[in-house]
């Protein structure tokens, strides 16, 4: 077997003895170059990238906090609007109930007034009708009395054979006859029985 094939290639400045060098330690120029490159990258990230990230993070946090604050304000306004709406709704319901009660009361009052007016008008018309009927009855009585008086005077004149058309006498006879007729003192006699008795 060849040991040279398995052994790593020698670096410049390295001796051939592998036991003399530590395998964990890196090559010194590479280590320095790596540290310088890391330092430059670290400085660029720290100076340029991190502030931009911090700025973006702060802006995003502020936007989120502002959004949360705006959402809380909007929620508070919505809650206040809801409470105001509910208060207005309650007030409107109370107002509608009051208007309904007022309308019922006014309707009852108007109905009572109309009934009173109708009763008064009916009483007035009934009174007028009674007066008119009484006037017509009186007129009919006067006319009937005059007709009955005239007929009875004519009949009595024929029976007596003497004229009874004297106004005062006629009026007295008629009044006496009608008073007896109303009192029920006049008894009707049958004409046939008086002739038979005679």
Residue 53 in any domain: the answer is yes
Say whether pLDDT at 195 is over 50.
Answer: no
Give the pLDDT score at 147. 79
Residue 192 in any domain: the answer is no
Confidence of residue 28 (pLDDT cuts 50, 70, 90): confident
Q: What is the mean pLDDT of residues 133-143?
A: 85
Residue 17 in any domain: the answer is no
> How many other CB atoms are found less than 10 A from the CB of residue 174?
19
- For the four alpha carbons of 38, 44, 47 and 52, in that order, the dihedral sign comes to negative
Residue 9 in any domain: the answer is no
State pTM to two decimals: 0.36
Expressed as residue numbers, the domain containing 73 is 26-183
Collect all residues with Cβ–Cβ distance below 8 Å to 15 and sequence separation of at least 6.
21
Where residue 78 falls (left for φ over 0; alpha for ψ -120 to 50; beta otherwise) is: alpha
Residue 131 in any domain: the answer is yes
Give the pLDDT score at 1. 41
Domain count, the chain: 1
Say whether pLDDT at 145 is over 50.
Answer: yes
Give the pLDDT score at 184. 73
Residue 195 in any domain: the answer is no
Q: What is the mean pLDDT of residues 51-62?
A: 92
Residue 6 in any domain: the answer is no
Residue 31 in any domain: the answer is yes
Say whether pLDDT at 65 is over 50.
Answer: yes
């Amino acid at each position: 077997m060849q040991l040279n094939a398995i052994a790593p290639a020698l670096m410049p400045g390295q001796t051939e003895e592998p036991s003399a060098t530590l395998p964990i330690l890196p090559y010194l120029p590479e280590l320095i170059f790596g540290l310088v490159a890391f330092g430059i990258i670290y400085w660029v990230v720290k100076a340029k990238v991190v502030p931009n990230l911090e700025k973006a993070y702060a802006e995003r946090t502020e936007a989120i906090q502002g959004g949360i604050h705006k959402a809380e304000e909007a929620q508070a306004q919505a809650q206040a609007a809801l409470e105001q709406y509910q208060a207005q709704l309650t007030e409107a319901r109370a107002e509608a109930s009051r208007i309904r009660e007022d309308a019922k009361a006014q309707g009852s009052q108007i109905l009572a007034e109309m009934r009173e007016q109708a009763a008064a008008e009916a009483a007035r018309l009934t009174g007028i009708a009674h007066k008119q009927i009484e006037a017509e009855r009186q007129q009919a009585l006067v006319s009937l009395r005059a007709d009955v008086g005239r007929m009875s005077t004519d009949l009595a004149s024929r029976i007596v054979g003497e004229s009874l058309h004297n106004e005062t006498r006629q009026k007295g006879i008629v009044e006496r006859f009608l008073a007896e007729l109303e009192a029920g003192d006049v008894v009707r006699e049958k004409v046939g029985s008086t002739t038979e008795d005679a």
